[in-house]
């Protein structure tokens, strides 16, 4: 088994100087969760590189045992063909550990789970974060230019946010490149944490959705799942059931009725009647007969004041003919 460094004992990490990119910023930002006190040295000087504990995105060498995480000489690719850049190499070795650290530090709402919170495997979380966040960053860095990527990918915006901090050459101010790098690692830390917590929440939501699905069946709701929790919970896992709509209580007290996606897509299993789309308040109430209906958005979702009204609206949508 490949030996990796104990980050808590690391004192110095080197990253190349000059212009920085998303992969080196996020690689360092990730490791800061495991040790916020190591010194970041930005250099390409071979003698200085010899005297640090780790080298990230610099040094022309990939060897976890010696703390080398450069990819410019070629560091392999994933099974799906996406090559590794610095962030991916770091995440491969330390991702699960970082996920554990983040998930252990947050307080979950025990009332949602009836004080029985399911275990979430950090390896599963790290794998999903790799697919969503790390791989696009690695692909961008290895391809070298956004013209080579699908411009719909959100990573383009993420890279542009990093680039924006570099656009200060024309200002009369003392603002060093190194300062910019450190500031961007804090941004990276936040985005990494958000991606981890999002993934953890989605895994946990599958347990809540399954319980709600089974309880809704017992309560006689055919193809409608009712979750009377004052939190909006991800419902992707309901795609694998026969449910068409989910009713949830929003943070403002209103209820939301949303159509459920087909498995593996963002296409609704069944949209609400097209004549509901864009209608609100009295107009929507007149069409549906649900007196406290608030608004219907693009036949995909609707909001209602009461639980009873939301269930009624879901039943009407379920029983309506296909548009």
Q: What CA–CA distances, in Å, run from 172 to 161, 166, 168, 175, 176? A: 22, 14, 9, 9, 12
pLDDT value at residue 308: 96
Q: Listing from the earlier edge strand, what are the strands of the sheet with 12-15?
A: 39-42, 12-15, 54-56, 68-69, 62-63
pLDDT band at 251 (very low <50, low <70, confident <90, very high): confident
CA 91/CA 75 separation, integer angstroms: 14
- CB neighbours (10 Å) of residue 183? 12
CB 71 within 8 A of CB 86: yes
Phi, psi of 258 (to 5 degrees): -125, 140
pLDDT of residue 152: 45
Domain boundaries, the chain: 7-203, 220-319
**What is 71-86 written as a DSSP string?**
-TT---B-TTSPBP-H
Is 1 a residue whose pLDDT tops 90?
no
pLDDT digits (tens, 9 = 90+) for 88-101: 999 999 999 999 99
User: What is the reported pLDDT for 288?
Assistant: 96
Q: Taking residues 216-228, what's their average pLDDT?
A: 95
As a whole number, mean pLDDT of residues 267-292 equals 95
| CA-based nearest residue to 94, from 10, 22, 11, 17 | 10
Q: Kindly tell me if the per-residue pLDDT of 78 is higher than 50.
A: yes
pLDDT tens digits, residue range 152-207? 455 556 777 777 766 666 776 666 788 889 999 999 999 999 999 999 999 999 99
What is the DSSP code string of 165-184? TT--TTSSS---HHHHHHHH
- pLDDT score at 151: 46
* Mean confidence (pLDDT) of the chain: 90
User: Of 77-81, 151-155, 313-317, which range is least confident?
Assistant: 151-155
- The verdict on pTM exceeding 0.75 is yes
What is the token pair recorded at 228?
A: 């009377």
């Amino acid at each position: 088994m490949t030996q990796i460094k104990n980050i808590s004992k690391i004192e110095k990490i080197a990253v190349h100087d000059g212009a920085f990119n998303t992969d080196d910023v996020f690689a360092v930002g990730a490791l800061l969760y495991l040790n916020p006190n190591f010194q970041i040295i930005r250099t390409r000087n071979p003698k200085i590189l010899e005297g640090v504990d780790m080298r990230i995105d610099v040094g022309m060498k990939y060897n976890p045992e010696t703390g080398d995480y450069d990819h410019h000489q070629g560091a392999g690719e994933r099974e799906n063909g996406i090559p590794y850049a610095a962030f991916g190499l770091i995440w491969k070795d330390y991702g699960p550990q970082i996920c554990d650290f983040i998930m252990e530090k947050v307080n979950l709402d025990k009332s949602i789970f009836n004080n029985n919170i399911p275990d979430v495997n950090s390896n599963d979380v790290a794998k999903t974060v790799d697919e969503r966040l790390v791989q696009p960053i690695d692909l961008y860095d290895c391809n070298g230019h956004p013209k080579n990527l699908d411009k719909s990918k959100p990573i383009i915006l993420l890279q542009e946010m990093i680039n924006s901090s570099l656009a200060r050459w024309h200002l009369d101010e003392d603002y060093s490149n190194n300062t910019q790098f450190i500031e961007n690692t804090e941004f990276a830390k936040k985005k990494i944490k958000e991606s981890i917590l999002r993934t953890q929440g989605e895994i946990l939501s599958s347990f809540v959705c399954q319980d709600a699905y089974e309880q809704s069946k017992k309560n006689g709701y055919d193809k409608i799942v009712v979750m009377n929790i004052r939190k909006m919970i991800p419902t992707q896992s309901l795609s694998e059931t026969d449910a068409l709509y989910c009713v949830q209580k929003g943070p403002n007290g209103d209820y939301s009725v949303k159509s459920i996606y087909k498995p593996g897509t963002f296409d609704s299993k069944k949209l609400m009647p097209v004549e509901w789309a864009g209608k609100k308040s009295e107009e929507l109430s007149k069409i549906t007969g649900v007196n406290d209906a608030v608004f219907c958005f693009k036949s995909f979702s609707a909001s209602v004041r009461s639980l009873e009204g939301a269930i009624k609206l879901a039943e009407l949508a379920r029983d309506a003919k296909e548009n």
